[in-house]
Structure 1
């Protein structure tokens, strides 16, 4: 296996890596580093926890050390939390350079951010929406001399259907120089390769992890088949079991909505589990504060929506529990990738109801691995069932009293106004789209029904013919 010096990395950077405990390059670093240092664009696809961030941070710092000036590198991230984590890696590895970085994400003061951008930091790490807002509203900074554009979790940034992301990216790409290096990294890259190739124009080097599986071998992937009404009791039973047996373990529980995330957090607190949450309805300062407390093990249980599913690297996380079965296999891959990182072991458990079997099959097909059933003593779960269900209902009533749904609606309207859209027109447009979708669905179902009827008719006809032939 190659070492960092044979890949062309400078001695000062190798020393920084050693101080962080990074002694050997991972496969994604070994393959992508030389190509990036050569000046080529790069598309890197590797499993979660395989060292993708360092694969682009190290060559950027090396090039920056040769010619430090202005805004040298722009990194785009789909979530605010991931943006802070990337900036932290730049800061730590680039300390000997006196690296100046700037984080531009939503939920923070725009004036302070504009001031930071005008001071020409070397590296800007941003979420596309907020950076596009700055480009539209300010002329105090220039990105015309940027050498590197990096898209981390590139597939999420370029996802079909994410029209807001796409519009914001168009605004950003419009102010960047054509002559630049473009680096794109993700754990699930293949879906949007055609789009990626159109953005990376400079003889792109493409590397994808050769492994058939999309999750790491160290991850023990399990499922529990449970009726919908008993799901929360299974969750509480699992948390109790893991906290009793391993007091140094941290757990992330993923759920599909902000409301569900809030209710589960309240419920677990009522049941005396020290729990914090992370979802997009929270104020940004609260999100950072909660994440910091979870990272430093002040709290060992984090309930989160998919804002925490990508890129977050928290070494103490030993268990990931999916409270709902993800609808997309790639969402599952990113969620369970929060454990078993950098060669460590980890466990993922997915709570599967009778309605989710088909989702599990498509996940298994994608990850090329069969999930094993997690053994649970049903009697133990039934003992706590009534208490858990009553506690959950109490928490739902408490949350309804806080106008949680109304706040969500107000936040949506605020966001539309900030984007220059009329909330009333948008609501009408949405209703029209729903109507069209419903009509399409009805039409599709009618066609399917007709096909089935025709198949049955033909079958009967063939049967009749064969019976007549026998006679």
Structure 2
């Protein structure tokens, strides 16, 4: 089916030489001027190829590396068509993360300013009643996360908010179609009109994108960026091989070395879990670094504050989970650090794609242990690029080990005292009980799991300290 989509569209791909400016794409002069306000003078390849096809009414799949302008590839033609027949709700855009939803909303607002464009952001962490009123007021563009929008639909099943929607967009489509949002998407799609344009944009191609047939009612136009590598050429990718027990000391040393030499540069550190992300944030803060955190277990206000401070370059170091690896417009990330090596290449691609965006240069450093060699090789094969090892002065790192281990241990103790993650545990308990499990069995299971995790964390820390003394 996927190959069939490619065959349908292979003759439709527009050659770059035939259209080289936004005017050539058939856009109104005022919209070209608004693009110039955003610094867009010439279209990127994904914009060059997809915008004309969307303007003539085709469904579209656009696949391009991060930082190549995919958001504007669908926002520009939507605004163009909206200006010809303005009404609400004209377009529905779904995205997997709250931060990305706000970012997309900002880009629509700038593009549509001459129209008096009205947008609404429907995501978790905000008042449901207030959001329902915004939807009822029929904004031109509705940007939402699937879970929160599905909640609104289910709680107001008699409402018909979306019967006139012209565009349905899935941004970061590979993630939205990977299975975890199936129920929410089904709820949402049932409310959409059959006569609509469906647009899917992603940085990576996956089997899940083959499910376009369920979403699209017309033959889709398909465009994929042609490149032998998945990551951009301007990104320098390296790895550090270090012992697992003192990895935090190596990360701290590299971050300090980089920030001392480049005080105006920004560093984005990826962690594999909310718990580890919070622990690293507290650890770095205790060591004297000014850092922010971005993960799903802090409030929406804290998340937006950290994101905006980092984006405006007021905060130089942001520690995050993969919530920040998708689509977020962070144009000035100079160094991406993978505290852990991702288990799949796709996650690595999205993470390092936060640096070297829009033609800029950037760096990515991944910290691996002796147990991660196979994962590193798998990623190198997937991106068709061999990484060089970043040699680190082990003697100098040893000067940091004790201080870093103590700071990490204190961070974990502080999190335990604050009952970090309690809300998530409550929700997990509720889900398990609703699935039919006995409440007492659930409580015993969760308590044992919590005890095991705390014991393991403290044991690892004690072992590391003992090895340091020896």
- TM bracket (short chain): 0.7 to 0.9
Q: Using a 3 Å threshold, how does the CA distance of structure 1 residues 426 and 126 change in structure 2: closer, same or farther?
A: farther
Q: Report the TM-score, using the length of structure 2 for normalisation.
A: 0.87
Q: Distance in 2 between matches of 1:146 and 1:125?
A: 13
Q: Distance in 1 between matches of 2:92 and 2:365?
A: 37
Deviations 1:173-205 (A, max 9, x none): 000001100000000123323212432231100
Instruction: Describe the SS at the equivalent of 2:399.
Output: helix
Aligned to 2:151: 133
Q: Is the 8 A contact 1:413 1:423 kept in 2?
A: no
For residues 70-469 of structure 1, the aligned pairs below 5 Å read 70-138=88-156, 139-140=158-159, 142-160=161-179, 162=180, 165-413=181-429, 416=431, 421-422=434-435, 424=437
Using the TM superposition, name which of 354-363 and 148-157 deviates more: 354-363
Q: Is the 8 A contact 1:120 1:141 kept in 2?
A: no
How far 1:425 sits from its partner (Å)?
A: 6.3
Aligned to 2:73: 55
Q: Is residue 51 of structure 2 the alignment partner of residue 33 of structure 1?
A: yes
Aligned to 2:450: none
How far 1:426 sits from its partner (Å)?
A: 10
Deviations 1:137-157 (A, max 9, x none): 124551011000000000100
Q: Using a 3 Å threshold, how does the CA distance of structure 1 residues 182 and 226 change in structure 2: closer, same or farther?
A: same
How far 1:365 sits from its partner (Å)?
A: 1.3
Q: Using a 3 Å threshold, how does the CA distance of structure 1 residues 421 and 194 change in structure 2: closer, same or farther?
A: same
Q: Is the 8 A contact 1:277 1:290 kept in 2?
A: yes
Q: Distance in 1 between matches of 2:131 and 2:159?
A: 11
Using the TM superposition, name which of 3-12 and 271-280 deviates more: 3-12
Using the TM superposition, name which of 83-92 and 386-395 deviates more: 386-395
How far 1:405 sits from its partner (Å)?
A: 4.4
Question: Gaps spanning 5+ residues in structure 1: where?
Answer: 433-471
Deviations 1:266-310 (A, max 9, x none): 110010000110111111121112211221222211110111110
Q: Is the 8 A contact 1:118 1:141 kept in 2?
A: no
Q: Distance in 2 between matches of 1:427 and 1:64?
A: 55
Q: Using a 3 Å threshold, how does the CA distance of structure 1 residues 143 and 407 change in structure 2: closer, same or farther?
A: closer
Instruction: Describe the SS at the equivalent of 2:289.
Output: coil
Deviations 1:118-169 (A, max 9, x none): 1100000000000001111124551011000000000100103x1xx10000
Aligned to 2:40: 22
Q: Using a 3 Å threshold, how does the CA distance of structure 1 residues 208 and 377 change in structure 2: closer, same or farther?
A: same
Equivalenced residue count is 425
Give the number of the structure whose alpha-carbon radius of gyration is greater.
Answer: 1
Q: Distance in 2 between matches of 1:372 and 1:423?
A: 51
Q: Is the 8 A contact 1:276 1:299 kept in 2?
A: yes
Instruction: Describe the SS at the equivalent of 1:404.
Output: coil
How far 1:423 sits from its partner (Å)?
A: 7.3
Q: Using a 3 Å threshold, how does the CA distance of structure 1 residues 65 and 405 change in structure 2: closer, same or farther?
A: closer
How far 1:424 sits from its partner (Å)?
A: 3.6
Instruction: Describe the SS at the equivalent of 2:318.
Output: strand
Q: Distance in 1 between matches of 2:94 and 2:439?
A: 28
Q: Is the 8 A contact 1:318 1:339 kept in 2?
A: yes
How far 1:397 sits from its partner (Å)?
A: 1.7
Q: Distance in 2 between matches of 1:335 and 1:423?
A: 38
Q: Using a 3 Å threshold, how does the CA distance of structure 1 residues 340 and 121 change in structure 2: closer, same or farther?
A: same
How far 1:422 sits from its partner (Å)?
A: 4.6
Q: Distance in 2 between matches of 1:32 and 1:350?
A: 34
Instruction: Describe the SS at the equivalent of 1:14.
Output: helix
Q: Distance in 2 between matches of 1:332 and 1:343?
A: 19
Q: Is the 8 A contact 2:297 2:421 kept in 1?
A: no
Question: Gaps spanning 5+ residues in structure 2: where?
Answer: 1-16, 446-470
